[in-house]
Amino acid sequence: MAIERREYVNLLMQKRWNGKVKIVTGIRRCGKSFLLNTLFKQRLLEEGTPEDSFVELALDRKTDLQFRNPSVYWRRENHEKDERCRVLCRDVAP
């Protein structure tokens, strides 16, 4: 059973595209990643956001460590299209 957390999802939806990074904080295992990578992403998909506009990173995974350097990330993910991209990133602190 998943808790929907509508209030948090609605707040994220209201604040999108305001030019600021959204940071979700909380104690371990409280649902931060689930909120972003499942609930928020699902809402965006329901509103018509293309699946390929998401970039999901977990900076605690060895395969994603290289992307802690923004220049490396930009070279790999540089989209030549003039489209908005949604970066969902978790575990940014080392």
Tens place of pLDDT per residue across the chain (94 aa): 788 999 999 999 999 989 898 989 999 899 999 999 999 999 999 999 999 888 888 878 888 777 777 766 665 665 555 567 787 887 766 5
Decide: pTM greater than 0.85.
Answer: no
| Phi, psi (degrees; rounded to nearest 5) at 60 | -95, -5
Q: Which amino acid is at 60?
A: D
d(CA 31, CA 47): 23
Question: Are the CB atoms for 39 and 5 separated by under 8 Å?
Answer: yes
- Residue extents of the structural domains in the chain: 6-15+23-90
Tell me the CA distances in angstroms from 82 to 53, 68, 78, 79, 93, one per residue in order.
Answer: 11, 24, 10, 7, 30
